[in-house]
Every structure is written in C-alpha cells, then in structure tokens.
Amino acid sequence: PGSPYQLVIEALTNYPQKRFYNVSKLGGTKYDVLPYSIRVLFESSIRNCDGFLVKETDAMNILDWKTKQNNVEVPFCPARVVLQDFTGIPAMVDFAAMREAVRNAGGDPVKVNPACPTDLTVDHSLQIDFILKNQEMEFGRNRERLQFFKWSSKVFKNISIIPPETGMAHQVNLEYLSRIVFEVKDFLYPDSVVGTDSHTTMVNGLGILGWGVGGIETEAVMLGMPVTLTLPEVVGCELTGTASPLATSIDIVLSITKHLRQADVAGKFVEFFGSGVSQLSVADRTTIANMCPEYGAILSFFPVDNVTLKHLKHTGKDEISVMEAYLKAVKLFRNYESSSREPEYSQVLQISLSSIIPYVSGPKRSQDRVAVNNMKSDFQACLNEKTGVKGFQIAVEKQNDIVPVQYEGNEYKLSHGCIVIAAVISCTNNCNPSVMLAAGLLAKKAVEAGLVVKPYIRTSLSPGSGMVTHYLSSSGVLPYLSKLGFEVVGYGCSTCVGNTAPLPEAIRNAIKQGDIIACGVLSGTKNFEGRLCDCVRANYLASPPLVVAYAIAGTVRIDFETEPLGTGFNGKSIYLRDIWPTRKELHTVEEECVISSMFKELKEKMEKGNKRWNSLEAPESALFPWDLKSTYIRCPSFFDKLVISPQAIENAHVLLYLGDSVTTDHISPAGSIARSSAAAKYLTNKGLTPREFNSYGARRGNDAVMTRGTFANIKLLNKFIGKPAPKTIHFPSGQTLDVFEAAELYQKEGIPVIILAGKKYGLGSSRDWAAKGPFLLGVKAVLAESYEKVHKSQLIGIGIAPLQFLPGENPNTLGLTGREQFSILFPPELSPGMTLDIKVSLHTGKVFSVIALFENDVEITLYKYGGSLNFVAQRFL
Ligand SMILES: *[C@@H]1O[C@H](CO)[C@@H](O)[C@H](O)[C@H]1NC(C)=O
Ligand SMILES: *[C@@H]1O[C@H](CO)[C@@H](O)[C@H](O)[C@H]1NC(C)=O
Ligand SMILES: *[C@@H]1O[C@H](CO)[C@@H](O)[C@H](O)[C@H]1NC(C)=O
C-alpha cells in the first residue's frame, strides 16, 4: 500500500488468488538484462516505494543499474532479519523500551512490533555451555536473558526465537528460516534477508539475496528503515565444463573461492551462471556463498533453478509450485538450457570446472598445495630437498629404508611416507555434508571389497556436530567407517589441536630409531600449529574421503592411477577408482537421506521445543516487567523525552579530544570488563564478583554497563591525558576521571558535550554501542576531520550530529585547545548536501564554519527526530 506502482499488481497465472508486483512488465527490456540479484533489489524498491524512505528515483536508479552502478546509493528493504542472541538482546531491549515510551506518551504499546519477520537464534552467548553440553548450566547462568527472549517471543508480533539446544547446524538453521518466496496474505515477493552474522550470505546458495550487516542496521530494518548500499557492481561468474570425479565438493568450493579471491570482487555482488552451476548441489552453493567474507564480495548469488527446487522438496517446503510459478513470472528463475538473454554483468569471470583437480596440502605448511596425482613424486622431492619449508633432506641411500616393527603380534614394515595418523574431521569450513558422506560411502565400498586399515594407524573421526554423526548414521555408513577404525572420538577440532591418542610405543620407537618420515593425514582446514605428534614430521590436509583412502593405502607414496590401494577379497587388486563414490551417488544419498531427515528432525525440534525452554516461565504482559536487580537486562534511556527538533548545542565542553583512526573498538570495546573500570564499579555495587562480570559483549542488554564501557578501551589516546588511558578531564572542576564519570558530571550540571577527532573517525566493523554509548554519555555532536561512512550514518541514526572541519582545517590550524566551550547553531531549515554550512562559536569569541554530513532528507529527518528509535516511536504514536 502506498506504492505508486500498484498498477502493476497482477494475479499469478493459474493461481488467481495470489498477487504480485509484475516488475518484469514494469521494467521491460531493461529488466530483462539486469543481473538476477539486481532484479531482487528492484522488486523490493517497487513494493516498498513510499516516496520518502524509498523514492521513485531510487527504483529507477536500480532499473538503470547498467549506467548507475557504483554511482548512486539505493535503499533496500529486506524481507526479514536474522539475529543472534548477542545482537538480538540490545535490539529487543530497545523494542521493549519503545513500548514503554509509547505507553508513557499515551499511545498503545501493543502496536510496537518489528516491521518485518525477525528470527532470533539463541546460540552465541551460550557457546561455552554448548561445548560443555550442559543445559542445566546454560539455563542457570543465562536465565534472565532467556526469560526476556521468551517474553519477547510471546508478546511481539513478527518475532520468532529459535531456542537454545535446538542443536542444529547453522546452515540448516538458516535454511529452515528461509522462505525463498514470501507470502503475506496471498501477496508474493522474493525472500531477502540481512543478518548480524557473516554467515548470512549462506542463503545466497538458495537464491535468497542477503548479507551480513551490523547490529544497528538490523535494528533499523526491524524499525522499518531500509539499509542503504551503493548500487553495486555485479561480477558474473560463469561455470563451464565438468569437474573431475575425484574432486570433492570441498575441492570445487575451494577452487572457486580461490578464483574469486584472485579476482577483484571486494565490495561487489557475485552472481553465478553457466551450465556448470547445475553440477553444484545446494550444499556446495551455500558453502561457496558462506565464504564471501574470505573473498570480500558482499554476496554470492545463485538464482533459484531446478536443483534448488529439488532440494526444497526434500526440506518439506510447501507450495513449491506456487514459488516456481511466481519466480518464473518475475523472471527470477534460472533455466540454464533456455536461450533467453544472459544478464549484462559488470564483468564476467569464467571458471572451468574441468580444471579442478583434487589437492592435498603439506607436508609442513597448509599453503603448500600438492595435486593428488603428483603426491608420490612430490613426497620424493621432499625427501631429497634440503631441510626447509618442504624438504626433509634424507640421504639417497636411506630413502628406501624399511624398519620392521612388532605390533599386536604381527610384524609390519615402516618406511618413509608411511601413515601413522589419519583423522577425519569435519571443521566449520567443510560442514558440507557431501564430503563426510563421501568418506563414509568410500569406507563402505572399501569394506565390501575386503580392504582394511593397518591397526597401528591412529584413526579417528571427529564430526563437527552431533548432526554429522546423525547423518552418517542415518545413511548407514557409520558402521563401515568404524570397521576401518574411524570411530567417533569427540566433537570439534580435537585432532587439529593435537589431542590425538598417543601413538603406540613400538611405533614411536621404530620411527625414532629408523629416523623415518612418518605422516599424518587429516581433513581439517587448519594449518599445523598444534603439531599432531612430535614423531610425525609430515602432515597433510586432505579431503575426508582421501584421508580414508590414504589410511587404507598406509602410505602417501602411492599413485592412485597406477597402483592399487590394497588387496581385497580373493586377492583382487583394488584401485581408488573402484571404490570412489560418484557425485551423482553422493547427491542422491545427500538429498534423499541427509537433507530430508535433517529437516524432519529440525522441524520436530522446532515444533516441540525442548523441555527446559518450554517450562521456562516468562511474563505475558505487553510491557516487560523490568527486574531492577538484573545486571543483564535494563530498560535503556533512549526515549527519556521524545524530542521533535534538534536543539542548538550551547556551551558544550569537549568530552574527548582524539586523534586519527579512532576505531569502533576504542569507542565501544567488546572484550572483558577491566576491574578498575566504571562498569566494574557498577557491577561490584550490584553485588557481583569479578568472575561474574562477563564481557561487554554479553552485557549489551544493560545500557548502564555499556555506557560505562563506552571509551573504556585502555588504548584510548585522549590528547587531554597524553598517554593511552580511558580517562579524560572534567573541565569545570579540573579533575581527571573515567570518561563515564566525567560525562555523568557534565550531565548532572546540564552541560552538553561534544567529541573532537581527527581523520577516519569510527573505523572498524560496525558496532551498535559505538553510537548508542556516546549518545547516552550526552554527546551531541562529533567534530572530526573525516569519518568512516557507516559509523557516520549510525551517529545520525542515534541522534548525534556528525560535523566535519572544512577541507584543510583541523583543531591545530584553527588554534583550538579543546578546552573551549562550543556553541553550534543549526539553520532552521536543514537541507542535504556536503556543503551545508554550520557556524561554531567558541566562548572566546572565535567563530568558524564546519560541514554537517547529512546526505539526504531521510538523514535530516532522523536527526530532527533525535534518531531512528525516536522517529519510529513517534510513528507508532
Ligand atoms: C507480467 O509481465 C510480463 C511481461 O514482462 C507478461 O509476459 C506477463 O503476462 C505478465 N503477467 C503475469 C501474470 O505473468
Ligand atoms: C510483520 O511483518 C509484516 C511484513 O512481513 C508487516 O507487513 C506487518 O505489518 C508486521 N506486523 C506488525 C504487527 O507490525
Ligand atoms: C537441472 O537441469 C539441468 C539442465 O538445465 C540438468 O542437466 C540437470 O540434470 C537438472 N537437475 C535436476 C536436479 O533436475
């Protein structure tokens, strides 16, 4: 409603009750050559066009992407938000506080709800407890926060909470939350999301536009504001050819990500196309997309195609035919066989899947990659080479030494390259089920062919989570892995960090006596920081199925093409190719057995909840009954008075006089709470011992702690103090105090404060409290030489004026000491533009001009209302 584009709302063919914006009709031939990711931005701008937050010019700029890319900023209203508990707490606390403020101003608090569906996963702050697998403790230590979440899930519309101990892989969690196509009251539109986690891009693999942003941006979206982005370049990544059967998903994923790292995709969208895309499973796609932070792209988009639809069927999604019809109607469905025109990308990158061959890396450093078919000769070269990053310098006459060893009543022969440790590990980067499954299927075929692993080899299996064990078991391969000695030893990277069981004494002695270069193979992605074992001098990282294959071979000195792995039943030579599972086999097992059972179980868990979560009591009142004793959850004071116009800043003191490159971590440190800090004093007064302080990150729901933590970084360099310290001078009294204490005194005295800073103020990743904290310290304006752009917008979003010295000017050239009192007068009619001239007058009589960095009328409006929280509260009124 409200969009001037309602004329193009149409009914979906064959589903007359379903309606949608026919953006394809509206966009015409321009639309037909837009990258698919940009089509999603366009649809969103059409649907959300209100003439203020999203304007018709924005929509037209997106349609003119070809010429406007990189040149304009556009607003984007994602369909939903995903939060984790760490970032979710402050956002939900703000919503609870807003209900309070709206009630106090005579409004109806029940109307205050997130403007779009928000899914909050409770998993972050409970991580340690997760590892301990101790739900009792989890609930005890986090009861206050969990109760607050429970209350939120009961009283707010558009909030759903994924309770702790749902215990599911991140990927599945995200996929579970994915809608692909949204349907609200028979109205259809594409799913899209922003989240506070860098893994948010995972869902790009399902054809969902989405990326990670800071806590403040997600909160803004929950408040109904768009995120703003520079209309991005889109790099088309064309996949051609067919991958080698020995290449695992990980090989493909790593090879594609390596290409992307070498290409310049930073700050751009990547969009995949070409016939090779259909060879990638949804898991492969999500893994590639998940690695966006590594190659710097904003996102890596895989438009929905038949592979996605097939995957969705296994996840039990309803109404797939409606989704398909809708996506086809708005030309968001990819059919690689059709002859329709390809989008016009900013740049095209071609990757031939045929060029992807499997690698291992080692023997000493993870960056030294060795093609599997060169392994034998490469190891030989390592024996020859001088001791160094790869070489072992073994004299030629000793290279074929054989050391006999007795073990469990049998004699074995150790030689250079023999394998003594083989660890199948599922690390976060290879949570892709197919590689672990490949190891399992390979084990199954090996056992069935009669192959064995020598008993002295320390074999182990460390699934990344119970989920991995679950699907290895449900697909029936676990018994075969265990038959080859790959028994589950624990979860997490136990072997990576050197926790393998010690090698048998006899083997250790034999290795030492014979000076044998023994090998470990493991499927971790970590390098060898924690050496496996001091007597194992060569370590290789390999894919899980290759770890099993090498364990069976018992040596790395093997050419899989020409030499058999071992002898099977009836004395038959068995080659790797005989037992290697095909990609097709894998995908079938993966989809039919893993995906559907994972989703079924997740769905059950979600529906049933878990006992402790279900029995957790929480109030049902529209307003949260704040517990004044709580040290985690407090009603913040953003709404003390709902202001409507910015007041002039009169006779402000300088709270801090900072130099260049002040980061968000200087402004709002996330780590532990120093014992001497203002926050520590507060918590001590509340009866807590230092052990109970927890970190600033965990206390983001308590504005009292966070305000005291603002500028509490011990590395803060304040020119008033002259050495790094979280201190400043309170000028009226001349005392040197903690920043918070000085700010508190100023507030008591009714004196506003400002901050002086140098270049690039607010560098670093966006952090919600880096804007909120200064606001609650009473900071009315920052006067800096330049800003980090995102932080600058966040200052406006909270109601702090970002002012900038004129080019070439700074406190030095202006002869400022920072001890002056500053008055700043805004013109009655603010208007956007970099050149907006603001007069600053000092109590000394000096007057100079600065620039106010409001870039558009939305920013001015937000500032006038005292920030976005207050603006939205006014809207609810
Ligand atoms: C939407 O617009 C396209 C033109 O791009 C047209 O072919 C189609 O019939 C329209 N309506 C529906 C329901 O798809
Ligand atoms: C919930 O989100 C939808 C968008 O999906 C929005 O239309 C609706 O107004 C929101 N509900 C409330 C109560 O704010
Ligand atoms: C999807 O379509 C492609 C052709 O475009 C085909 O090669 C592939 O087998 C199909 N995959 C599925 C899962 O249907």
The CA-to-CA distance between both ends of the chain, in Å, stands at: 20
- Collect all residues with Cβ–Cβ distance below 8 Å to 297 and sequence separation of at least 6: 235, 260, 265, 266, 267, 268, 269, 270
Ligand 2 atom having least distance to the Cα of 182: 5
Which of 239, 242, 273, 278 has the most ligand 3 atoms within 8 A of CB, as the residue to mutate? 278
Distance 235 CA to ligand 1 centre (A): 28
Which of 116, 118, 875 has the most ligand 2 atoms within 8 A of CB, as the residue to mutate? 116
Distance 272 CA to ligand 1 centre (A): 25
Ligand 3 atom having least distance to the Cα of 337: 5
565-622 tens-digit pLDDT: 999 999 999 999 999 998 888 888 888 877 787 788 778 877 777 777 888 888 999 9
* Listed range (49-63, 138-152, 616-630, 825-839) with the worst mean pLDDT: 825-839
Query: How far is Cα 572 from Cα 575, in angstroms, rounded to an integer?
Result: 10
Residue 841 has pLDDT above 80, yes or no: yes
Token pair in block for residue 788: 């980090």
Contact by Cβ (8 Å): 822, 845:
no
Distance 427 CA to ligand 3 centre (A): 30
Which of 304, 307, 310, 595 has the most ligand 3 atoms within 8 A of CB, as the residue to mutate? 307
Query: How far is Cα 119 from Cα 191, in angstroms, rounded to an integer?
Result: 14
Mean pLDDT calculated for residue range 141-150: 84
| 431 pLDDT tier (thresholds 50, 70, 90) | low
Residue 344 has pLDDT above 70, yes or no: yes
| 2 pLDDT tier (thresholds 50, 70, 90) | low
Of residues 576, 579, 499, 487, the one with CA closest to residue 532: 499
CB of 393 sitting under 6 A from ligand 1: no
Of residues 518, 484, 181, the one with CA closest to residue 328: 181
CB atoms near residue 646 (< 10 Å): 18
Distance 278 CA to ligand 3 centre (A): 6
For 450-478, b/e burial (b = at least 16 CB within 10 A) is ebbbbebbbbbbbbbbebbbbbbbbbebb
Domains and CATH numbers, the chain: 9-76 (no CATH), 80-355 (3.30.499.10), 394-596 (3.30.499.10), 649-876 (3.20.19.10)
CB of 10 sitting under 6 A from ligand 1: yes
Token pair in block for residue 427: 């690390």
Q: Phi and psi of 446, rounded to 5°?
A: -65, -45
Ligand 1 atom having least distance to the Cα of 331: 5
Residue 584 in 3-state DSSP?
A: helix
pLDDT for the residue numbered 170: 65
Q: Which residue, by CA, sits nearest to atom 9 of ligand 3?
A: 278
pLDDT for the residue numbered 408: 92
Query: How far is Cα 536 from Cα 517, in angstroms, rounded to an integer?
Result: 7
Which helix (H) or strand (E) segment holds residue 461: the answer is strand 458-462
Q: What is the DSSP code string of 668-684? A: S--SB--TTSHHHHHHH
Hey, what long-range contacts does 715-718 have (CB within 8 A, 24 or more apart)? 715/666, 716/656, 716/658, 716/666, 717/658, 717/659, 718/656, 718/657, 718/658
* Listed range (189-193, 498-502, 668-672) with the worst mean pLDDT: 498-502
Mean pLDDT calculated for residue range 35-39: 98
User: Residues with Cβ within 6 A of ligand 2?
Assistant: 113, 115-117, 157-158, 184
Distance 74 CA to ligand 2 centre (A): 22
Contact by Cβ (8 Å): 587, 597:
no
pLDDT for the residue numbered 664: 95
CB of 478 sitting under 6 A from ligand 1: no
Closest ligand to residue 24's CA? 1
Residue 110 has pLDDT above 80, yes or no: yes
pLDDT for the residue numbered 175: 79
CB of 13 sitting under 6 A from ligand 1: yes
Q: What is the DSSP code string of 413-457? A: EEETTBEEEEEEE--GGG--HHHHHHHHHHHHHHHHHT----TTS
Contact by Cβ (8 Å): 324, 309:
yes
Closest ligand to residue 31's CA? 1
Distance 726 CA to ligand 2 centre (A): 43
Distance 158 CA to ligand 2 centre (A): 6
pLDDT for the residue numbered 497: 41
pLDDT for the residue numbered 193: 97
Higher pLDDT, 763 or 643: 763
pLDDT for the residue numbered 162: 84
| 494 pLDDT tier (thresholds 50, 70, 90) | very low
Of residues 541, 568, 537, 533, the one with CA closest to residue 552: 568
Ligand 2 atom having least distance to the Cα of 79: 5
Token pair in block for residue 407: 């073990």
Look-up: residue for tokens 């004044």?
628
Q: Which residue, by CA, sits nearest to atom 10 of ligand 2?
A: 115
| 661 pLDDT tier (thresholds 50, 70, 90) | very high
Query: How far is Cα 480 from Cα 440, in angstroms, rounded to an integer?
Result: 7
Distance 616 CA to ligand 2 centre (A): 27
Query: How far is Cα 410 from Cα 623, in angstroms, rounded to an integer?
Result: 74
Which of 157, 188, 192 has the most ligand 2 atoms within 8 A of CB, as the residue to mutate? 157
Q: What is the CA radius of gyration of the chain?
A: 30
User: Residues with Cβ within 6 A of ligand 3?
Assistant: 278, 306-307, 310, 336-337
Distance 29 CA to ligand 1 centre (A): 13
SS3 per-residue string spanning 236-274: EEEEECCCCCCCCHHHHHHHHHHHHHHCCCCCCEEEEEC
Distance 506 CA to ligand 3 centre (A): 54
Cα dihedral: 573, 579, 582, 585 (round 10)? 140
CB of 329 sitting under 6 A from ligand 1: yes
pLDDT for the residue numbered 692: 86
Contact by Cβ (8 Å): 161, 153:
yes
Ligand 1 atom having least distance to the Cα of 13: 13
Mean pLDDT calculated for residue range 818-839: 82
pLDDT for the residue numbered 131: 38
Closest ligand to residue 26's CA? 1
Distance 872 CA to ligand 2 centre (A): 14
CA atoms within 13 A of residue 168's CA, in its CB half-sphere: 25
Q: Average per-residue pLDDT in the chain?
A: 89
CB of 24 sitting under 6 A from ligand 1: yes
268-325 tens-digit pLDDT: 999 999 999 998 989 889 989 988 988 999 999 999 999 999 999 888 777 899 999 9
| 183 pLDDT tier (thresholds 50, 70, 90) | very high
Contact by Cβ (8 Å): 180, 317:
yes
Sheet holding 347-352, edge to edge: 299-301, 269-273, 234-240, 347-352
Contact by Cβ (8 Å): 472, 462:
no
Contact by Cβ (8 Å): 205, 317:
no
Distance 584 CA to ligand 3 centre (A): 12
* Listed range (392-396, 584-588, 595-599, 684-688) with the worst mean pLDDT: 595-599
Contact by Cβ (8 Å): 210, 201:
yes
Ligand 2 atom having least distance to the Cα of 184: 5
Q: Which residue, by CA, sits nearest to atom 2 of ligand 3?
A: 306
pLDDT for the residue numbered 143: 80
Q: Which residue, by CA, sits nearest to atom 4 of ligand 2?
A: 116
Ligand 3 atom having least distance to the Cα of 305: 1
| 127 pLDDT tier (thresholds 50, 70, 90) | very low
Distance 310 CA to ligand 3 centre (A): 10
Cα dihedral: 524, 526, 529, 532 (round 10)? 0
Distance 470 CA to ligand 2 centre (A): 37
Residue 834 has pLDDT above 80, yes or no: no
Which of 10, 12, 29, 333 has the most ligand 1 atoms within 8 A of CB, as the residue to mutate? 10
Residue 137 has pLDDT above 60, yes or no: no
pLDDT for the residue numbered 132: 42
For 546-577, b/e burial (b = at least 16 CB within 10 A) is bbbbbbbbbbbbbebeeebbbebeeeeebebe
Distance 483 CA to ligand 3 centre (A): 36
Q: State the chain's maximal CA–CA distance in angstroms.
A: 101
Of residues 785, 499, 512, the one with CA closest to residue 522: 499
pLDDT for the residue numbered 140: 62
| Length of the chain, in residues | 877
Helix count (H) and strand count (E) of the chain?
33, 34
Percent of the chain whose predicted confidence (pLDDT) is above 90: 65
Closest ligand to residue 25's CA? 1
